[in-house]
Amino acid sequence: MTAVAEKEVKNGVNVAALLGAREALSKAPEAARFTWRATCKWVHGTHSRTSVKGYHGLGQEQSHRTEFTFDMDHPEVFASEDNGATPVEMVLTGLAGCLTAGVAAVAQHRKIQLRSVKATLEGGMDIQGILGIDADVRNGFDSINVTFDIDADATKEEIEALVAQSQKRSAVFDILTNPTNVSVSVN
């Protein structure tokens, strides 16, 4: 008797659970509405501390296992104390985390074993915008470049397809590439 073992791939992503959730949520789309929250408190100078814990999803309040906090500040070249990453670096952090999670999930689904994944991000910015020197210069990034170095049991084309699919399904990639209405109010 011969047994052909199903290729076992362990990237640490529970694809069966994700596919189950997709199936369940397509039948109960109201449960798919999530609200993500963050609370930020000013500390001193340009230093602030943001925390995340609760969020809403699957029809009820949910909570992270623990509260996560993030210090943000500006570096000394901006005459600040550099108590944390800059907010724009946090944006790069969000994009990197989203795309990398996507690569792992898609790889698991496609039965591709990953050995290492490294993303290097660069966002270019002309700070004449935020300093109000030149009104023609935008405040934000003029471009973002992401470079992946991936070691995996796959062809170059398969790895490129992982990265492309990860962008296609990425929330942060969508947030950065498409306009979003942002409303800010004061209590």
Partner 1 sequence: MRATVLVIGAGHAGLAMSRCLTERSIDHVVLERGEVANSWKTERWDSLRLLTPNWQSRLPGYVYAGDDPHGYRTMAETVAFLQQYAEAISAPVRTNTEVTSVRRVEEGYAVSTNNGEWRARAVVLASGACNIANLPALAQALPSAIASLTPNQYRNPGQLPQGGVLVVGASATGVQLADEIQRSGHPVVLAVGEHIRMPRRYRGRDIQWWMDSAGILDQRYDEIDDLERARRVPSLQLAGYPDGRSVDLNALTSIGVRLVGRLAGLRDGKALFSGSLANQAALSDLKMNRLLDTIDYWAARAGRGAALEPPQRFEPTRIEASPPLSLELVRSGIRSVIWATGFRPDYSWLHVPVFDRKGRIRHDGGVVDAAGMYLMGAQFLRRRKSALIDGAGDDARELSAHLESHLQERRQAAA
Tokens 């949520």 belong to residue: 25
DSSP 35: B
Nearest to partner 1 of 45, 140 (CB atom): 140
Nearest to partner 1 of 143, 187 (CB atom): 143
Q: What's the closest the beta carbon of residue 167 comes to partner 1, in angstroms?
A: 5
Rounded to an integer, what distance in angstroms lies between the CA atom of residue 23 and that of residue 20?
Answer: 5
What's the N-to-C CA distance of the chain in angstroms? 73
- CB proximity list for 173: less than 8 A, separation 6 or greater: 95, 98, 99, 167
Nearest to partner 1 of 29, 132 (CB atom): 29
Q: What's the closest the beta carbon of residue 89 comes to partner 1, in angstroms?
A: 19
Q: What's the closest the beta carbon of residue 177 comes to partner 1, in angstroms?
A: 4
Nearest to partner 1 of 53, 109 (CB atom): 109
Q: Which of 178, 181, 154 is nearest to 167 (CA)?
A: 178
Q: Which of 95, 99, 101 is nearest to 18 (CA)?
A: 101
Nearest to partner 1 of 76, 157 (CB atom): 157
Q: What's the closest the beta carbon of residue 119 comes to partner 1, in angstroms?
A: 15
**Helix 156-168 to helix 87-109 angle, to the nearest 10 degrees?**
120
Q: What's the closest the beta carbon of residue 160 comes to partner 1, in angstroms?
A: 6
Using CB under 8 A as the criterion, which residues of the chain lie in contact with partner 1 when the complex forms?
26, 29, 142-143, 157, 160-161, 164-165, 167-168, 173-174, 176-179
